[in-house]
Amino acid sequence: MEVQCAGAEPLRLGPPHTAAGLIFSVLLGVWYSQALEMSVGKVPSLEAVNGSTVILPCTYSSCIGIHNLYFNWQFNDNGTMQKVCESVIPSEGVEPHVSIYRERVEFVGKNHDNNISILLWNITFDDAGQYTCFGRNPKEKDKNHSAIFILTVVDELRVVDNTLTIIIASAVGGGIALLMGFMLLKNFTLFVLSKLEEKNKECLVSSSGIDNTENGLSGSKGDSKPTPKKK
């Protein structure tokens, strides 16, 4: 289809199905924005000491809700995915019955918080690695999503050297103290100078009065002579 405008090249319009494709793209975008999402938090990793107890966090979210949401935790053991636990959440607010397949693992999630986190007791170096939190929601035509959490196990936590931070803080604090001392000294000096200036003015006024009296100027005691009587 062409649209002819005066003084312009013919404008060709796309086929009618183009508008339908645009609408489909918009609807698809809305669909994906409502899709199931699994999250392990803003920091998807943890460094823990051998023998300690840690929580591997995971939550799910869906704009249209859930129905028989299936989830599991898996551990990547040198390329082989081993199932840690799994369960099905019938609906919102129902706490699931979780099957555990690995020792020292406890489910600590609460469904009313969309929480499906697990706890690892007395971790060892064999527990270090990649854990995957997976979910699938039949209510969204089995839309699924997963999130990865990395656990590192060490003998002891690294001690952060704060020497540079302490030096910088001391330098900044010393600079502020020096500036405050300078301002106090400046204000004190200005105060003393103003007092000396006032005292000098008072001395000048007093000196002027004394000089006038000694020199016998008009209005001084030297001019106070008796008026001669007329004969």
Residue 30 has which token pair?
């809305």
For residue 24, what pLDDT is reported? 46
Q: How far, in Å, CA of 95 to CA of 87, rounded?
A: 10
- Picking from 132, 154, 176, the residue at the C-terminal end of a domain is 154
As given in the structure block, the two tokens for residue 99 are 């099957």
Q: Is residue 212 part of a domain?
A: no
pLDDT band at 32 (very low <50, low <70, confident <90, very high): very low
Phi, psi values for residue 75, rounded to 5°: -115, 130
The reported pTM is 0.57
Q: Are residues 39 and 147 in the same domain?
A: yes
DSSP H or E run through 11: strand 11-12
* Residue indicated by tokens 């990649």: 130
Residue 3: pLDDT band with limits 50, 70, 90: very low
What CATH number does residue 131 fall under? 2.60.40.10
Q: Would 79 be classed as within a structural domain?
A: yes
196: domain range? Answer: 160-201
Residue 214 has what pLDDT?
A: 53
Share of the chain above pLDDT 70, in %: 69
Q: What are the tens digits of pLDDT across the range 42-88?
A: 999 999 999 999 999 999 999 999 999 999 999 999 999 999 999 99
